[in-house]
Structure 1
Amino acid sequence: MPDTATPVLIIDDEAHLRITAGQTLELAGYTPNAFASAEEALDALAPDFPGVVVSDIRMPGMDGMALLREVHKRDPDLPVILVTGHGDISTAVEAMREGAWDFLEKPFAGERLVEMVRRGIEKRRLSLENRQLKAELEAQQSAPGPRLVGRTQAMQHLSSMVQRISQVETDVLLFGETGAGKDLVARSLHERSNRGGQPFVAINCGAIPESIIESELFGHEKGAFTGAMERRIGKFEHADGGTVFLDEIESMPLALQVKLLRVLQERMVERLGANEPVALDIRVIAATKVDLKAAAEDGRFREDLYYRLNVVTLPIPALRERREDIPLLFQHFAVVAANRSGLEAPPLAAADISVLLAHDWPGNVRELRNLAERFVLLGAAYDYRLDALLEGAEAGASDLALPQQVELFEKSLISQSLASHRGRINDICVHLGLPRKTLYDKLKKYALKPEDYRQAAVD
């Protein structure tokens, strides 16, 4: 989708050049705003200006070089195209060193001006989207608890439930596929609760050998068994005052489930080899990728433990069930990876979004995060092509019909524009090249509310 109707500042002290350049850009679908002096143009330059600046170098008063420096003081990412006189190569070289986006030599063809503006506006769009993502990331990092990223109804409901349940002292069972983000939800529940400053102890029940899991969880006294050379505090006791997260609880041996049930009921733990129980002040969050009720009916999981855990159950949606969140999630992970590695995180192009939406994501959010990290770390070697980075993208293509994929793609683009422009309808119409009525029709169709994005910017 071309970035037509985007504003372009034209600055030249010669009226006929302003008129000619303005007519050329207007015919190409842009919105030219012409000024006779650099000072007038600077007064009209708003923060996060979505277009580019085209300015003559030689002008009375503030010249083009001084304008370039002043613009970049305000916004170093704003593309400035400078127009030089015939043969003025030394000035053009200096302009490029000062950070000019490009330069035009008089006389120039209208097609060259349009092409240069088009490329500058694309760069500007990517810069503003990246800036918005970084701002959102910084805001979320200062908020309590890990971020649950997503604007779909499923994620909004999950976020609301996490906030509500975090304030209640009850054990929680999380149910979701591998990689769906159960550990993130567990941490979010802990950090947003009154236990947030206390230990969060995560235990993968499927990764601890059965021979030592009891000692790991409950601890032991010196001499309790061969090799027990000293007292050991178990994970439950270490988490006192905080939260225990039992991941893959379906993998816990049946014999140990009896002892876990007692811990949950009595809030006490007894170390191996000890005679006296130790009182615990803990919250337990368990997570599973299987249907525990069915497992209990099959004898693979204790029924009484299932009902004890099933006080509050939170289902975690698979990534394919909230496809509209995929581009936002990807860019979030890319920004995180870029901040950690010191590299750039190029925003997604339209073709990349199509690749993301077409994939079926069997590995869920974990697979998406890994791809985003590869995109940042290795993307340059692949010209930042996601189809080259995403192994098996074609094999894992979505089963959705073409009209459904097109709708998802369109909704994702509109949602991103709402976020980038903080719900400002006029700016979104310009960015997407849509008439106002068409945009409102699409907002209604996809249940997107601009006020939600304005509120998100304030929060």
Structure 2
Amino acid sequence: MHEPSTFPVMIIDDEPHLRITASQTLELAGYATHCYESAESALSQLSPDFPGVVVSDIRMPGMDGMALLRELRQRDPTLPIILITGHGDISTAVEAMREGAWDFLEKPFAGDQLVEVVRRGVEKRQLSLENRRLKAELEVQQAALGPRLVGRTTVISRLAAMIQRISQVETDVLLFGETGTGKDLVARAIHERSARRNSPFMAINCGAVPENTIESELFGHEKGAFTGAVERRIGKFEHADGGTVFLDEIESMPLALQVKLLRVLQERSVERLGANEVVPLNIRVITATKVDLKTAAETGQFREDLYYRLNVVTLPLPALRERREDIPLLFQHFAVIAANRSGLEAPTLDSQGIAVLLAHDWPGNVRELRNLAERYVLLGAAFDYRLDALLEGASADTCEPALPHQVELFEKSLISQSLARYRGRVSEVCQQLGIPRKTLYDKLKKHQLKADDYRHKNDP
């Protein structure tokens, strides 16, 4: 009886002795083997998400190995197929690789050679299936709920609950968080979960628009309102009627314009530059800032009356260093997105990579992490996928958590990722981590983790 955590290997050969020898070799290495004497019988047993690899002889009666390869490549191009060729049959091996075989073995081959090729094939298969699952999940989540918050920490769960609650009521919102914490994503999430989801979402960065054009950008203008106004322009507020206006870096808005914004918020109407008529608005306004607006108001850098008007509902966004346990999960999430966009695969993180992620202070927050994940996918091969080589700006004087806390976070992150990978199956997690069941349960209790929470969880 094989352990449920062993990965399956399908062995196809019409010669019984080769099937038996290969099966025994792989079973001793910890794989679960399934032997078939013909390609036809194997095909009928192959599921779409078969989690292992296929090892097949080329020379067989009926459907031979090359025909099997072509059929399997049509069914699933990511399934690793290892073909066994006769001695000196190099031309066939070259053709097999050209047709998409993962690797080939030339008779006679050593047992450790077979095990090594299968091991690499299984690793590739697990990565392919994980990326496929994450891609499908991303599509479903984004189609159903719009932008998604990724994480399992208490602080991010609380934020997600607040977003859901706020999105259901008609109120303006002020987002407060450091650069790169995802204020734009949260604003879009509120919009997409609200009754306004089918109406426009208009975003404008107050710090990126020149001061002499921002008024026209927001409120619009009539033809001839000023030099260069050759035609009427509808502003962001008017264009977003029925939907949501998102004003990022609100602290950068000129003081003179803040007076007009206050009037828009109070009266829910807008007047274009050069116009005499008032246009009523049905909008929600979400603003975002990275500075303390109360302090800015006290020092005269921001209008106090506007601050109190915006401060009806304030939603603080946590810095990445405040949710370190989410960092490996977020990194893999961004890596999968980058891989899907570029047509590449996102290599899974090893323990050393996770340690690098947890040790960094992340001054650029989620934006910095996302950029690193994209470099990892696009440029990682040139750096042997070493995150310490890819990570830029990690100065020695950054504020890092104490060593015991880093160790605790590292251990919890590894256990959490393993639970997610094996859907909470304790026996498989124990084998993957190399610890006894009692030890795992002790650590689950210590880190306040529950295997049941991962059994039906779709987090990447």
Query: TM-score, normalising length from structure 2?
Result: 0.85
Query: 1:231: Cα distance to partner?
Result: 4.5
1:102-251 mapped onto 2 (5 Å cutoff) = 102-222=103-223, 224=225, 231-251=232-252
Rounded Cα–Cα distance in structure 2 between residues aligned with 1:318 and 1:59: 60
Instruction: Tell which deviates more after alignment, 131-140 or 13-22.
Output: 13-22
What are the residue-to-residue correspondences of 1:20-419 with 2, within 5 Å? Answer: 20-28=21-29, 30-38=30-38, 41-42=42-43, 45-58=46-59, 63-222=64-223, 224=225, 231-341=232-342, 343-350=343-350, 351-393=352-394, 395=396, 399-419=400-420
Check whether the contact 1:6–1:431 (CA below 8 A) recurs between aligned residues.
no
Of the structure 1 ranges 170-179 and 94-103, higher mean CA displacement relative to structure 2 is found in 94-103
Q: 1:433 to 1:238 in 2, by over 3 A?
A: same
In the alignment, the residues of structure 2 paired with residue 224 and residue 64 of structure 1 have an alpha-carbon distance, to the nearest angstrom, of 76
SS at match of 2:245: strand
Aligned length: 455
Instruction: Give the aligned residue type for 2:33.
Output: N
State the one-letter code of the partner of 1:37.
E
What is the SS of the residue equivalent to 1:259?
helix
TM-superposition CA deviations, 1:374-433 (whole Å, max 9, x none):
334444444444333322346476613344334434444444444445555565556555
Counterpart residue identity of residue 186, structure 1: A
DSSP 3-state at the match of 1:368? helix
Q: Cα distance, 1:263 vs. partner? A: 1.9
Q: CA deviation at 1:289?
A: 0.7
> 1:443–1:42: structure 2 CA closer, same or farther, 3 Å change rule?
farther
Contact 2:26 2:33 in 1 (8 A): no
User: CA contact under 8 A between 2:175 and 2:287: conserved in structure 1?
Assistant: yes
Check conservation: 1:14, 1:36, Cα contact below 8 A. no
State the AA in 1 paired with 2:190: L
Q: Partners in 1 of 2:236 and 2:390 — Cα distance?
A: 40
Relative contact order higher in (CA < 8 Å, ≥ 6 apart)? 1
- The letter of the residue matching 1:358 is A
Q: Runs (4+) of structure 1 moved beyond 6 Å?
A: none
Q: Contact between 2:419 and 2:425, CA under 8 Å: does it hold in 1?
A: yes
User: Does the C-alpha gap of structure 1 residues 338 and 120 become closer, same or farther in structure 2, counting only changes over 3 Å?
Assistant: closer
Within 5 A, what are the aligned runs for 1:419-430? Answer: 419-423=420-424, 428=429
With 250-259 and 55-64 compared, the bigger mean Cα shift is at 55-64
Tell me which residue corresponds to 2:9: 8
| Alpha-carbon shift at residue 288 of structure 1 (Å) | 0.8
Amino acid at match of 2:167: S
Matches for 1:447-458 after TM superposition, within 5 Å: 447-457=448-458
Counterpart amino acid of residue 179 in structure 2: T
Task: Provide closer, same or farther for how the CA distance between residues 64 and 308 of structure 1 changes in structure 2, counting only shifts above 3 A.
Answer: same
CA-CA distance at 1:69 after TM superposition: 4.3
> Cα gap change, 1:336/1:35 in structure 2, threshold over 3 Å: closer, same or farther?
closer
Q: Report the Cα offset of residue 266 of structure 1.
A: 1.8
Q: CA RMSD in A?
A: 3.4
Structure 2 gaps of 5+ residues are none
The alpha-carbon distance between structure 1 residues 128 and 410, as it changes in their structure 2 partners (threshold 3 A), is: farther
Structure 1 gap segments, 5+ residues each: none
**SS of match in other structure, 1:391:** coil
**Mapped partners of 1:415, 1:134: distance in 2:** 20
* Shift of residue 24, structure 1, vs aligned partner: 3.5
Given the superposition, is the C-alpha separation of residues 249 and 11 from structure 1 closer, same or farther in structure 2, using an over 3 Å criterion? same
| Separation of aligned partners in 1, 2:73 and 2:178 | 48
Q: CA deviation at 1:161?
A: 1.7
Letter in 1 for 2:349: A
Larger displacement relative to structure 2 (210-219 or 132-141): 210-219
> Against the structure 1 CA distance between its residues 179 and 427, is the aligned structure 2 distance closer, same or farther, given a 3 Å change threshold?
same
* CA gap 1:37/1:222 in 2 versus in 1, 3 angstroms: closer
